[in-house]
Amino acid sequence: MSTQVSVSAAAGRSKMAGKSAGSKGDVKNPKLADKGHSKIEWAGRSMPVLAQIKARFAKERPLEGIRISACLHVTTETANLALTLKVGGAKVSLCASNPLSTQDEVAAALVDAGIPTYAIKGEDQATYYRHIAAILNARPQMTMDDGADVVSVLHKERRELLPDVIGGTEETTTGVVRLRAMANEGVLAYPIVAVNDALTKHLFDNRYGTGQSTLDGMIRATNRLVAGSVFVVAGYGWCGKGIASRAKGLGAHVIVTEIDPLRALEAVLDGFQVMPMGEAAPLGDFFCTVTGNTDVIREEHFKRMKDGAIVANSGHFNVELDLKALADIAVSRRTVRDFVEEFELKGGKRVVVLAEGRLVNLSAAEGHPSSVMDMSFANQALSSEYMAKNHHKLEKKVYPVPTDIDQEIARLKLASWGAQIDKLTPNQKRYLSSWQEGT
Protein backbone atom coordinates (compact mmCIF):
# COMPACT_ATOMS: atom_id res chain seq x y z
CA MET A 1 0.00 0.00 0.00
CA SER A 2 1.23 3.44 -0.79
CA THR A 3 1.76 6.06 1.85
CA GLN A 4 3.31 9.46 1.52
CA VAL A 5 3.48 10.33 5.15
CA SER A 6 6.33 11.77 7.09
CA VAL A 7 7.56 9.08 9.44
CA SER A 8 8.54 9.89 12.99
CA ALA A 9 10.57 7.15 14.56
CA ALA A 10 10.19 8.73 17.95
CA ALA A 11 7.58 11.04 19.33
CA GLY A 12 9.55 14.23 19.81
CA ARG A 13 11.03 14.13 16.31
CA SER A 14 8.00 15.18 14.29
CA LYS A 15 9.30 18.72 13.85
CA MET A 16 7.63 19.29 10.49
CA ALA A 17 4.12 18.47 11.66
CA GLY A 18 1.87 21.48 11.49
CA LYS A 19 4.11 23.32 9.07
CA SER A 20 2.77 22.18 5.73
CA ALA A 21 -0.92 22.49 4.98
CA GLY A 22 -0.70 19.96 2.15
CA SER A 23 0.95 17.35 4.34
CA LYS A 24 -0.62 13.89 4.46
CA GLY A 25 -0.01 13.47 8.17
CA ASP A 26 2.48 12.47 10.80
CA VAL A 27 2.28 8.93 12.12
CA LYS A 28 4.68 6.56 13.83
CA ASN A 29 5.01 4.00 11.07
CA PRO A 30 3.01 3.89 7.82
CA LYS A 31 3.83 0.19 7.45
CA LEU A 32 1.35 -0.52 10.26
CA ALA A 33 -1.53 0.40 7.92
CA ASP A 34 -2.62 -3.18 7.12
CA LYS A 35 -2.90 -4.06 10.79
CA GLY A 36 -4.86 -0.84 11.30
CA HIS A 37 -7.31 -1.57 8.48
CA SER A 38 -8.05 -4.98 9.92
CA LYS A 39 -8.72 -3.55 13.40
CA ILE A 40 -10.89 -0.76 11.99
CA GLU A 41 -12.96 -3.33 10.12
CA TRP A 42 -13.33 -5.42 13.30
CA ALA A 43 -14.55 -2.38 15.26
CA GLY A 44 -16.92 -1.44 12.41
CA ARG A 45 -18.74 -4.75 12.80
CA SER A 46 -19.97 -3.55 16.21
CA MET A 47 -21.02 -0.16 14.88
CA PRO A 48 -24.24 -0.88 12.93
CA VAL A 49 -25.85 2.51 13.53
CA LEU A 50 -22.85 4.39 12.16
CA ALA A 51 -22.77 1.93 9.24
CA GLN A 52 -26.36 2.83 8.32
CA ILE A 53 -25.51 6.53 8.49
CA LYS A 54 -22.45 5.88 6.32
CA ALA A 55 -24.59 4.14 3.68
CA ARG A 56 -26.99 7.10 3.58
CA PHE A 57 -24.11 9.62 3.56
CA ALA A 58 -22.62 7.82 0.55
CA LYS A 59 -25.83 8.47 -1.41
CA GLU A 60 -26.72 11.95 -0.13
CA ARG A 61 -23.24 13.49 0.47
CA PRO A 62 -24.54 15.96 3.10
CA LEU A 63 -21.03 17.19 3.93
CA GLU A 64 -19.90 17.75 0.34
CA GLY A 65 -16.67 19.77 0.26
CA ILE A 66 -16.80 20.78 3.95
CA ARG A 67 -13.39 20.88 5.62
CA ILE A 68 -13.62 19.23 9.06
CA SER A 69 -10.69 19.39 11.48
CA ALA A 70 -11.18 16.72 14.12
CA CYS A 71 -9.23 16.31 17.37
CA LEU A 72 -10.35 12.97 18.79
CA HIS A 73 -8.74 9.90 20.35
CA VAL A 74 -7.25 8.15 17.32
CA THR A 75 -8.83 4.73 17.83
CA THR A 76 -10.52 2.15 15.61
CA GLU A 77 -13.93 3.68 16.40
CA THR A 78 -12.80 7.19 15.50
CA ALA A 79 -11.48 5.77 12.24
CA ASN A 80 -14.96 4.48 11.41
CA LEU A 81 -16.35 7.95 12.13
CA ALA A 82 -13.70 9.69 10.01
CA LEU A 83 -14.41 7.32 7.11
CA THR A 84 -18.15 8.01 7.46
CA LEU A 85 -17.58 11.77 7.29
CA LYS A 86 -15.32 11.31 4.26
CA VAL A 87 -17.93 9.21 2.47
CA GLY A 88 -20.38 12.00 3.25
CA GLY A 89 -18.21 14.36 1.21
CA ALA A 90 -16.18 16.01 3.99
CA LYS A 91 -12.47 16.75 3.74
CA VAL A 92 -11.38 15.44 7.11
CA SER A 93 -8.08 15.96 8.89
CA LEU A 94 -7.47 14.38 12.24
CA CYS A 95 -5.16 14.73 15.23
CA ALA A 96 -5.09 13.13 18.67
CA SER A 97 -6.99 14.58 21.61
CA ASN A 98 -4.55 13.02 24.08
CA PRO A 99 -0.83 12.31 23.73
CA LEU A 100 -1.20 8.70 24.95
CA SER A 101 -4.47 7.55 23.38
CA THR A 102 -3.37 7.06 19.76
CA GLN A 103 -3.41 3.60 18.22
CA ASP A 104 -0.44 3.92 15.85
CA GLU A 105 -1.68 1.28 13.41
CA VAL A 106 -5.02 3.10 13.12
CA ALA A 107 -3.29 6.42 12.40
CA ALA A 108 -1.27 4.69 9.66
CA ALA A 109 -4.39 3.12 8.14
CA LEU A 110 -6.21 6.45 8.09
CA VAL A 111 -3.39 8.12 6.21
CA ASP A 112 -3.47 5.19 3.82
CA ALA A 113 -7.22 5.77 3.40
CA GLY A 114 -6.58 9.38 2.40
CA ILE A 115 -7.33 11.09 5.70
CA PRO A 116 -4.44 13.31 6.82
CA THR A 117 -3.77 12.16 10.38
CA TYR A 118 -1.33 13.65 12.86
CA ALA A 119 -0.98 11.39 15.88
CA ILE A 120 1.76 9.36 17.51
CA LYS A 121 1.26 7.44 20.74
CA GLY A 122 3.47 9.00 23.41
CA GLU A 123 3.99 12.29 21.55
CA ASP A 124 5.35 15.06 23.76
CA GLN A 125 3.45 18.24 24.59
CA ALA A 126 5.11 20.25 21.81
CA THR A 127 4.26 17.61 19.20
CA TYR A 128 0.70 17.40 20.50
CA TYR A 129 0.23 21.12 19.85
CA ARG A 130 2.09 20.97 16.50
CA HIS A 131 -0.41 18.33 15.46
CA ILE A 132 -3.31 20.58 16.43
CA ALA A 133 -1.67 23.35 14.39
CA ALA A 134 -1.44 20.91 11.46
CA ILE A 135 -5.18 20.19 11.35
CA LEU A 136 -5.89 23.91 11.70
CA ASN A 137 -3.67 24.55 8.68
CA ALA A 138 -6.38 22.72 6.71
CA ARG A 139 -8.55 25.85 7.35
CA PRO A 140 -11.54 24.13 8.97
CA GLN A 141 -15.14 25.01 8.27
CA MET A 142 -16.16 22.69 11.08
CA THR A 143 -14.32 21.54 14.19
CA MET A 144 -14.87 18.28 16.02
CA ASP A 145 -13.30 18.27 19.46
CA ASP A 146 -12.86 15.97 22.44
CA GLY A 147 -11.89 18.31 25.27
CA ALA A 148 -12.10 21.62 23.33
CA ASP A 149 -8.36 21.96 22.67
CA VAL A 150 -8.89 22.84 18.99
CA VAL A 151 -11.53 25.44 19.82
CA SER A 152 -9.21 26.86 22.43
CA VAL A 153 -6.16 27.14 20.11
CA LEU A 154 -8.37 28.53 17.33
CA HIS A 155 -9.75 31.28 19.57
CA LYS A 156 -6.42 32.12 21.24
CA GLU A 157 -3.82 31.76 18.50
CA ARG A 158 -5.42 31.29 15.07
CA ARG A 159 -8.20 33.86 15.05
CA GLU A 160 -7.59 34.61 11.37
CA LEU A 161 -9.22 31.22 10.64
CA LEU A 162 -12.44 31.94 12.56
CA PRO A 163 -14.39 33.61 9.70
CA ASP A 164 -14.36 30.32 7.75
CA VAL A 165 -15.77 28.24 10.61
CA ILE A 166 -19.52 27.58 10.46
CA GLY A 167 -19.81 25.34 13.51
CA GLY A 168 -18.46 22.48 15.54
CA THR A 169 -19.20 19.56 17.82
CA GLU A 170 -17.81 18.54 21.21
CA GLU A 171 -17.51 14.97 22.47
CA THR A 172 -16.84 15.09 26.22
CA THR A 173 -18.04 16.57 29.54
CA THR A 174 -14.88 18.57 30.17
CA GLY A 175 -15.00 20.09 26.67
CA VAL A 176 -18.64 21.09 27.10
CA VAL A 177 -17.79 22.74 30.44
CA ARG A 178 -15.02 24.76 28.76
CA LEU A 179 -17.25 25.75 25.82
CA ARG A 180 -20.12 26.85 28.06
CA ALA A 181 -17.62 29.04 29.94
CA MET A 182 -16.60 30.59 26.59
CA ALA A 183 -20.24 31.13 25.55
CA ASN A 184 -21.05 32.70 28.95
CA GLU A 185 -18.15 35.11 28.55
CA GLY A 186 -19.39 35.95 25.04
CA VAL A 187 -16.14 34.84 23.39
CA LEU A 188 -17.33 31.72 21.53
CA ALA A 189 -17.11 32.61 17.84
CA TYR A 190 -19.39 29.94 16.32
CA PRO A 191 -22.15 27.49 17.32
CA ILE A 192 -21.21 24.12 18.79
CA VAL A 193 -23.33 21.03 19.35
CA ALA A 194 -22.63 19.34 22.70
CA VAL A 195 -22.60 15.72 21.59
CA ASN A 196 -21.71 14.67 25.15
CA ASP A 197 -25.08 15.86 26.39
CA ALA A 198 -27.11 13.58 24.09
CA LEU A 199 -28.74 10.85 26.14
CA THR A 200 -27.52 8.24 23.66
CA LYS A 201 -24.01 9.52 24.43
CA HIS A 202 -23.43 10.08 28.13
CA LEU A 203 -25.90 7.52 29.50
CA PHE A 204 -24.03 4.78 27.64
CA ASP A 205 -20.56 5.96 26.62
CA ASN A 206 -19.68 7.72 29.88
CA ARG A 207 -21.27 5.05 32.07
CA TYR A 208 -20.86 1.65 30.40
CA GLY A 209 -17.96 2.60 28.11
CA THR A 210 -15.82 4.31 30.75
CA GLY A 211 -16.86 1.71 33.32
CA GLN A 212 -15.63 -1.28 31.34
CA SER A 213 -12.64 0.30 29.64
CA THR A 214 -11.25 1.92 32.80
CA LEU A 215 -11.22 -1.41 34.61
CA ASP A 216 -9.74 -2.92 31.45
CA GLY A 217 -6.93 -0.34 31.45
CA MET A 218 -6.14 -0.75 35.13
CA ILE A 219 -6.12 -4.54 34.86
CA ARG A 220 -4.09 -4.65 31.60
CA ALA A 221 -1.50 -2.31 33.11
CA THR A 222 -1.12 -4.15 36.43
CA ASN A 223 -2.55 -7.68 36.03
CA ARG A 224 -3.73 -7.32 39.65
CA LEU A 225 -6.79 -9.04 41.14
CA VAL A 226 -9.70 -6.70 41.75
CA ALA A 227 -11.82 -9.18 43.77
CA GLY A 228 -11.53 -8.54 47.49
CA SER A 229 -9.71 -5.24 47.02
CA VAL A 230 -10.78 -1.80 48.18
CA PHE A 231 -11.43 0.34 45.10
CA VAL A 232 -11.85 4.10 45.57
CA VAL A 233 -13.70 6.05 42.85
CA ALA A 234 -13.47 9.85 43.01
CA GLY A 235 -16.54 11.41 41.38
CA TYR A 236 -19.95 9.75 41.05
CA GLY A 237 -21.01 11.34 37.78
CA TRP A 238 -21.84 9.33 34.66
CA CYS A 239 -18.34 7.90 34.37
CA GLY A 240 -17.92 7.33 38.11
CA LYS A 241 -21.17 5.35 38.31
CA GLY A 242 -19.89 3.07 35.55
CA ILE A 243 -16.49 2.52 37.14
CA ALA A 244 -17.98 1.89 40.60
CA SER A 245 -20.50 -0.64 39.28
CA ARG A 246 -17.89 -2.52 37.22
CA ALA A 247 -15.42 -2.61 40.12
CA LYS A 248 -18.20 -3.94 42.36
CA GLY A 249 -19.06 -6.52 39.71
CA LEU A 250 -15.47 -7.76 39.83
CA GLY A 251 -15.77 -8.24 43.59
CA ALA A 252 -14.19 -5.05 44.97
CA HIS A 253 -15.38 -3.18 48.05
CA VAL A 254 -16.08 0.19 46.49
CA ILE A 255 -15.68 3.56 48.22
CA VAL A 256 -16.95 6.72 46.51
CA THR A 257 -15.74 10.27 47.18
CA GLU A 258 -17.84 13.24 46.08
CA ILE A 259 -18.33 16.96 46.60
CA ASP A 260 -21.99 17.03 45.50
CA PRO A 261 -24.47 15.88 48.18
CA LEU A 262 -27.01 14.55 45.64
CA ARG A 263 -24.45 12.45 43.81
CA ALA A 264 -23.10 11.25 47.17
CA LEU A 265 -26.63 10.28 48.23
CA GLU A 266 -27.09 8.35 45.01
CA ALA A 267 -23.83 6.49 45.69
CA VAL A 268 -24.97 5.58 49.22
CA LEU A 269 -28.31 4.25 47.92
CA ASP A 270 -26.49 2.33 45.19
CA GLY A 271 -24.76 0.50 48.03
CA PHE A 272 -21.35 2.20 48.18
CA GLN A 273 -19.47 3.64 51.13
CA VAL A 274 -19.04 7.40 50.81
CA MET A 275 -16.35 9.37 52.60
CA PRO A 276 -13.83 12.18 51.97
CA MET A 277 -10.61 11.32 50.11
CA GLY A 278 -8.64 12.00 53.30
CA GLU A 279 -10.40 9.03 54.95
CA ALA A 280 -10.38 6.80 51.86
CA ALA A 281 -6.65 7.32 51.21
CA PRO A 282 -5.36 4.82 53.82
CA LEU A 283 -7.99 2.21 52.85
CA GLY A 284 -7.71 1.91 49.07
CA ASP A 285 -5.82 -0.69 47.06
CA PHE A 286 -6.94 1.00 43.81
CA PHE A 287 -7.88 4.64 43.23
CA CYS A 288 -9.45 6.13 40.12
CA THR A 289 -10.36 9.79 39.69
CA VAL A 290 -13.05 10.73 37.18
CA THR A 291 -14.29 14.16 38.22
CA GLY A 292 -13.26 16.60 35.46
CA ASN A 293 -11.71 18.60 38.33
CA THR A 294 -8.15 19.38 39.36
CA ASP A 295 -5.99 18.20 42.32
CA VAL A 296 -8.47 15.58 43.50
CA ILE A 297 -5.70 13.35 44.92
CA ARG A 298 -3.03 15.52 46.51
CA GLU A 299 0.12 15.30 48.63
CA GLU A 300 -1.79 14.76 51.90
CA HIS A 301 -3.61 11.80 50.29
CA PHE A 302 -0.53 10.19 48.71
CA LYS A 303 1.22 10.36 52.09
CA ARG A 304 -1.60 8.42 53.79
CA MET A 305 -1.87 5.64 51.18
CA LYS A 306 -0.94 2.00 51.80
CA ASP A 307 2.32 0.63 50.42
CA GLY A 308 1.69 -0.37 46.80
CA ALA A 309 -1.55 1.56 46.32
CA ILE A 310 -2.40 1.85 42.63
CA VAL A 311 -3.58 5.26 41.43
CA ALA A 312 -5.13 6.10 38.05
CA ASN A 313 -7.23 8.76 36.37
CA SER A 314 -9.99 8.41 33.79
CA GLY A 315 -11.09 12.06 33.70
CA HIS A 316 -10.31 14.03 30.57
CA PHE A 317 -7.21 15.98 31.59
CA ASN A 318 -4.17 14.78 33.54
CA VAL A 319 -4.77 17.28 36.32
CA GLU A 320 -6.84 15.15 38.69
CA LEU A 321 -3.77 13.62 40.37
CA ASP A 322 -1.24 16.12 41.71
CA LEU A 323 1.73 14.24 40.30
CA LYS A 324 4.08 17.17 40.80
CA ALA A 325 3.47 16.95 44.55
CA LEU A 326 4.01 13.18 44.43
CA ALA A 327 7.28 13.61 42.53
CA ASP A 328 8.39 16.22 45.08
CA ILE A 329 7.86 13.93 48.07
CA ALA A 330 9.30 10.85 46.30
CA VAL A 331 12.91 9.80 46.92
CA SER A 332 12.96 7.80 43.69
CA ARG A 333 10.74 6.73 40.80
CA ARG A 334 10.96 3.98 38.21
CA THR A 335 8.87 2.42 35.47
CA VAL A 336 8.15 -1.19 36.41
CA ARG A 337 5.90 -2.20 33.49
CA ASP A 338 4.34 -0.38 30.55
CA PHE A 339 2.17 2.43 31.93
CA VAL A 340 3.13 1.55 35.53
CA GLU A 341 5.37 3.96 37.42
CA GLU A 342 6.34 3.43 41.04
CA PHE A 343 7.16 6.38 43.31
CA GLU A 344 9.08 5.50 46.48
CA LEU A 345 8.47 7.81 49.42
CA LYS A 346 10.67 8.41 52.47
CA GLY A 347 10.49 5.30 54.68
CA GLY A 348 10.15 2.97 51.69
CA LYS A 349 6.42 3.18 50.98
CA ARG A 350 5.53 2.92 47.26
CA VAL A 351 2.71 4.64 45.37
CA VAL A 352 2.04 3.29 41.89
CA VAL A 353 0.73 5.64 39.17
CA LEU A 354 -0.76 4.34 35.93
CA ALA A 355 -0.35 5.97 32.49
CA GLU A 356 1.18 9.22 33.80
CA GLY A 357 -2.21 10.13 35.24
CA ARG A 358 -3.71 10.39 31.75
CA LEU A 359 -6.98 8.69 30.75
CA VAL A 360 -6.10 5.15 31.82
CA ASN A 361 -8.71 3.48 29.61
CA LEU A 362 -7.32 5.01 26.43
CA SER A 363 -3.66 4.91 27.43
CA ALA A 364 -3.29 1.42 28.89
CA ALA A 365 -6.22 -0.18 27.02
CA GLU A 366 -8.14 0.69 23.85
CA GLY A 367 -10.84 3.02 25.13
CA HIS A 368 -14.52 2.24 24.99
CA PRO A 369 -15.85 -0.86 23.22
CA SER A 370 -16.98 -0.14 19.67
CA SER A 371 -20.60 -0.96 20.34
CA VAL A 372 -20.94 1.97 22.72
CA MET A 373 -18.94 4.35 20.51
CA ASP A 374 -21.42 3.44 17.75
CA MET A 375 -23.96 5.69 19.46
CA SER A 376 -21.53 8.47 20.40
CA PHE A 377 -20.17 8.70 16.88
CA ALA A 378 -23.61 8.37 15.29
CA ASN A 379 -24.34 11.54 17.28
CA GLN A 380 -21.15 13.14 15.91
CA ALA A 381 -22.00 12.26 12.31
CA LEU A 382 -25.64 13.39 12.52
CA SER A 383 -24.72 16.54 14.46
CA SER A 384 -22.22 17.47 11.73
CA GLU A 385 -24.94 17.03 9.12
CA TYR A 386 -27.30 19.11 11.30
CA MET A 387 -24.66 21.84 11.59
CA ALA A 388 -24.02 21.82 7.83
CA LYS A 389 -27.76 22.31 7.18
CA ASN A 390 -28.66 24.68 10.02
CA HIS A 391 -25.60 26.75 10.91
CA HIS A 392 -27.06 29.94 9.42
CA LYS A 393 -29.97 29.72 11.89
CA LEU A 394 -27.78 29.17 14.96
CA GLU A 395 -26.17 31.69 17.33
CA LYS A 396 -22.67 31.55 18.82
CA LYS A 397 -23.77 29.22 21.59
CA VAL A 398 -23.54 25.64 22.80
CA TYR A 399 -26.55 23.66 21.52
CA PRO A 400 -27.90 20.27 22.60
CA VAL A 401 -28.14 17.45 20.08
CA PRO A 402 -31.68 17.73 18.67
CA THR A 403 -34.03 15.28 20.44
CA ASP A 404 -35.12 13.61 17.19
CA ILE A 405 -31.48 12.67 16.46
CA ASP A 406 -31.09 11.21 19.97
CA GLN A 407 -34.33 9.23 19.66
CA GLU A 408 -33.51 7.97 16.18
CA ILE A 409 -30.10 6.69 17.35
CA ALA A 410 -31.75 4.85 20.26
CA ARG A 411 -34.29 3.30 17.85
CA LEU A 412 -31.60 2.21 15.39
CA LYS A 413 -29.42 0.77 18.16
CA LEU A 414 -32.30 -1.26 19.57
CA ALA A 415 -33.21 -2.45 16.08
CA SER A 416 -29.60 -3.55 15.49
CA TRP A 417 -29.96 -5.88 18.48
CA GLY A 418 -33.35 -7.11 17.29
CA ALA A 419 -34.99 -5.52 20.34
CA GLN A 420 -38.49 -4.16 19.89
CA ILE A 421 -40.58 -1.93 22.09
CA ASP A 422 -44.28 -1.26 22.52
CA LYS A 423 -46.20 1.56 20.83
CA LEU A 424 -48.64 3.82 22.65
CA THR A 425 -52.26 2.89 21.98
CA PRO A 426 -54.61 5.79 21.03
CA ASN A 427 -56.19 5.48 24.48
CA GLN A 428 -52.77 5.69 26.19
CA LYS A 429 -51.85 8.77 24.14
CA ARG A 430 -55.10 10.43 25.16
CA TYR A 431 -54.57 9.46 28.82
CA LEU A 432 -51.03 10.85 28.92
CA SER A 433 -52.10 14.18 27.44
CA SER A 434 -55.14 14.71 29.63
CA TRP A 435 -55.37 16.16 33.16
CA GLN A 436 -58.96 15.21 33.88
CA GLU A 437 -58.65 11.50 34.63
CA GLY A 438 -57.71 10.41 38.16
CA THR A 439 -58.39 7.51 40.52
Ligand X SMILES: NC(=O)c1ccc[n+]([C@@H]2O[C@H](COP(=O)([O-])OP(=O)(O)OC[C@H]3O[C@@H](n4cnc5c(N)ncnc54)[C@H](O)[C@@H]3O)[C@@H](O)[C@H]2O)c1
Catalog residues that contact ligand X under the rule CB under 6 A. Answer: 172-174, 202, 206, 210, 234-240, 257-260, 263, 290-293, 296, 314-316, 359, 361-362, 367
Q: For ligand X, which is the closer residue by CB, 23 or 172?
A: 172
The least CB distance from residue 206 to ligand X, in Å, is 4
Tell me which residue of 51, 47, 124, 39 sits closest to 75, measured CA to CA: 39
Residue 284 main-chain phi, psi, to 5 deg: -75, 140
Q: For ligand X, which is the closer residue by CB, 37 or 202?
A: 202
The least CB distance from residue 80 to ligand X, in Å, is 17
CA distance 221 to 314: 14
The answer to whether residues 379 and 174 touch, using CB atoms and an 8 Å cutoff, is: no
The least CB distance from residue 276 to ligand X, in Å, is 9
CA-to-CA dists, residue 405 to 90, 310, 376, 382, 402, angstroms: 20, 41, 11, 7, 6
Residue 21 main-chain phi, psi, to 5 deg: -65, -30
Give the DSSP H/E element, type plus range, for residue 142: strand 142-145
The least CB distance from residue 292 to ligand X, in Å, is 3
| Alpha-carbon dihedral 236, 296, 324, 353, rounded to 10 degrees | -40
The least CB distance from residue 373 to ligand X, in Å, is 10
CA distance 227 to 250: 6
Q: For ligand X, which is the closer residue by CB, 44 or 209?
A: 209
Q: For ligand X, which is the closer residue by CB, 137 or 257?
A: 257
The least CB distance from residue 143 to ligand X, in Å, is 17
Q: For ligand X, which is the closer residue by CB, 167 or 367?
A: 367
Q: For ligand X, which is the closer residue by CB, 33 or 354?
A: 354
The least CB distance from residue 13 to ligand X, in Å, is 28
First and final C-alpha spacing in the chain: 71
Tell me which residue of 301, 424, 289 sits closest to 360, measured CA to CA: 289
Q: For ligand X, which is the closer residue by CB, 202 or 246?
A: 202
- Per DSSP, the chain holds a count of helices (H) and strands (E) of 18, 17
The answer to whether residues 101 and 75 touch, using CB atoms and an 8 Å cutoff, is: yes
Q: Give strand pairing partners of 258.
A: none
